[in-house]
Amino acid sequence: MPVAAKWAYFDHAAVAPLTLPARQAIEQYTRQATEEGDTLWPQWARGVEQLRTTTAALIGCQTQEIALVHNTTAGINLVAEGFPWQPGDNVVTLADEFPSNQYPWLHLASRGVEIRRLDTNRGRLELDQLAQACDTRTRIVSLSWVGYATGFRHDLDAITELVHNRGALLFVDAIQALGVFPLDVRRTPIDFLAADGHKWMLGPEGAGVFYIRQEHLDRLRPTGVGWNSVVDAHDFSHIELKFKPSADRYEGGSQNMVGMLGLAASVELLAQLGTENIARRLLEITDMACEKLTAIGCQIVSHRDGEHRSGIVAFEVPEVDPQALRQHCLQQQVVLSCRGGRLRISPHAYTNEDDLDRLAQAIKSYQQP
């Protein structure tokens, strides 16, 4: 991680720095595209397909269940706009979800779909609360695996079972967990998932993944249909609207090839390290961060109990403006965020104790004007 030479970087929940392999992949593409034009397009396409294969292995699904998309929002909209809604149907989500996991569902109101937004306790949702919100007209429950503001990690096993028992489907916004926490969709049979690659998967912006369980392929009406949606995608003179029997029917047209190649390189690195190992280290480093922050008078806001911990820690410094403190930390080459009026750190597995000491020292050295 070249970024570590200069910065103590605690902002992976916003936009992550690139890995060295990602930079190399992007530089190679740029050089080749500049010097060779499209003559190496088949080689690039194979590299992009490797992203699909590696992602499928990462979550335990079939390759044909993965579509490559520009961002999480695109994946959410594939479901929101493609599902066969009927007036009176409802969607259940959380009131403090990231906006991209609210607006696509709220946009369905004009089609007679009710949106039920549940309040949480600093990101924590109780299963009884979710059960009470679902009824016979609940078609989809949509929530984040890890909440962006305070980092609460939901129990997907329990939620999936509850949602399916209610006769509904589960959509998971996985952007704050995919790549650093293990998930096997054969054991945890969620229905849909989307995630950008520019956070925990350490890829560039504009490249992400979408998962759809094979049995739902024909349930979603493809949107954004283009030449790449059909079986004979490369036979431009043959026009027949025959969709691919796989998730790439949702990809439509040309891809962000350079972005996908960069993401593929980072995901391959994460796969080699193993998500179980990454998760273990990430929880260790965030536990240590909480200890150090508490020791200098910070108040931890995030729930830090057991399996609900994540790579995100929200905290407050009493009587200190979080935005001003963030700017001070940047001047000390320490990167963190403000969300919901609080400070938020989101280290990665490569973060070390020296980085934590730099964070603590930057906070202690702040003098209010």
* CB proximity list for 13: less than 8 A, separation 6 or greater: 148, 151, 176, 199, 200, 311, 312, 337, 344, 346
Record the pTM: 0.95
Q: Are 316 and 301 in contact (CB under 8 A)?
A: yes
Q: Which contacts qualify for 165-168: CB closer than 8 Å, 24 or more apart?
A: 166/131, 166/134, 166/135, 166/138, 167/136, 167/138, 168/92, 168/134, 168/138, 168/139, 168/140, 168/141
Confidence of residue 369 (pLDDT cuts 50, 70, 90): low
Distance CA 338, CA 357 (A): 20
pLDDT at 308: 97
What is the residue type of 79?
A: V
- Which residue has 């034009």 as its token pair? 37
Bridge partners of residue 144, in order along the sequence: 173
Q: Which residues pair with 342 in a beta bridge?
A: 339
Average pLDDT on 276-302 reads 97
What digits encode the pLDDT tens for the residues 307-363?
999 999 999 999 999 999 999 999 999 999 999 899 999 999 999 999 999 999 999
Q: Find the mean pLDDT for residues 194-222.
A: 97
pLDDT exceeds 90 at position 367: no
Q: What does the angle CA 12 – CA 17 – CA 19 come to, to the nearest 5 degrees?
A: 115
pLDDT at 11: 98
All structural domains of the chain: 2-17+275-364 (3.90.1150.10), 20-272 (3.40.640.10)
Residue written as token pair 């607006």:
103
pLDDT, tens only, 76-135: 999 999 999 999 999 999 999 999 999 999 999 999 999 999 999 999 999 999 999 999
Tell me if 139 sits within 8 A of 89, measured CB to CB. Answer: yes
pLDDT tens digits, residue range 239-268?
999 999 999 999 999 999 999 999 999 999
Length of the chain: 369
Which 8-state DSSP code applies to residue 323?
A: H
SS3 204: coil
192, two tokens: 């849909």
